Amino acid sequence: MAELPFWAECLITFFLILGGSFALIGSLGLARLPDFMTRLHAPTKNTTLGVGGVVLASITYFSASSGVSLHELLIACFLFLTAPISAHLLAKAALHLELKTISATQDLRSHPGPFSSAENPEISTESADNESTQEIKSSNQN
């Protein structure tokens, strides 16, 4: 590593520790949370922010050592654009597979929340239809 002025070292240290902490917290959430829907939250937000911290540290380092360099921003922009898309597709896949959830994770398709039932009565009737079909299914199983 090259010799840098003191303010640049302070800034790079701050960004590195920030990014590393964010990445560690995101991976800890991925390992510890009880449910896929809760597990989806931790890495998709925190790990992206961790990479953002490392990218800012890299931009500061190369700008302080040799001229302005901004091409690391490409990686940060790409990750910030693509992380929500992959999280959305994974959530759709999990809904399709109907994974096991903890009781605090509510499925709004079968239990419509206060907003949907108050404002859209159609949704509540649809859910009633779903419940009746579920009852039919369960009776068939019995």
Partner 1 sequence: MLTFAMQAAFLLFSIALLLNVWRLVKGPSTPDRILALDTIYINSLALLLLLGIWHSSTFYFEAALLIAMLGFIGTVVAAKFLLRGDIIE
Residue 68 sits in the site that holds partner 1 (CB under 8 A): no
Could you tell me the two tokens for 88? 């959305």
Q: Which is nearer to partner 1, 89 or 136 (CB)?
A: 89
Name the DSSP letter for residue 41: H
Q: Is 85 in the site for partner 1 (CB under 8 A)?
A: yes
Angle at 137 between CA 136 and CA 138, to 5 degrees: 90
End-to-end Cα separation, the chain, in angstroms: 70
123 is an interface residue for partner 1 by CB under 8 A: no
Residue in 5, 7, 78, 129 binding partner 1, rule: CB under 8 A: 78
Does 70 sit near partner 1 (CB under 8 A)?
no
1 touches partner 1 (CB under 8 A): yes
Q: In whole angstroms, what is the distance from residue 94 CA to residue 60 CA?
A: 39
CA distance 87 to 90: 5
Distance, CA of 84 to CA of 104 (rounded, Å): 23
Q: Which residues bind partner 1 (CB under 8 A)?
A: 1-2, 4, 9-10, 12-13, 16-17, 19-21, 23-24, 26-28, 30-31, 36, 39-40, 43-44, 47-48, 50-51, 54-55, 57-58, 61-62, 65, 69, 71-72, 74-75, 78-79, 82-83, 85-86, 89-90, 92-94, 96-97, 99-100
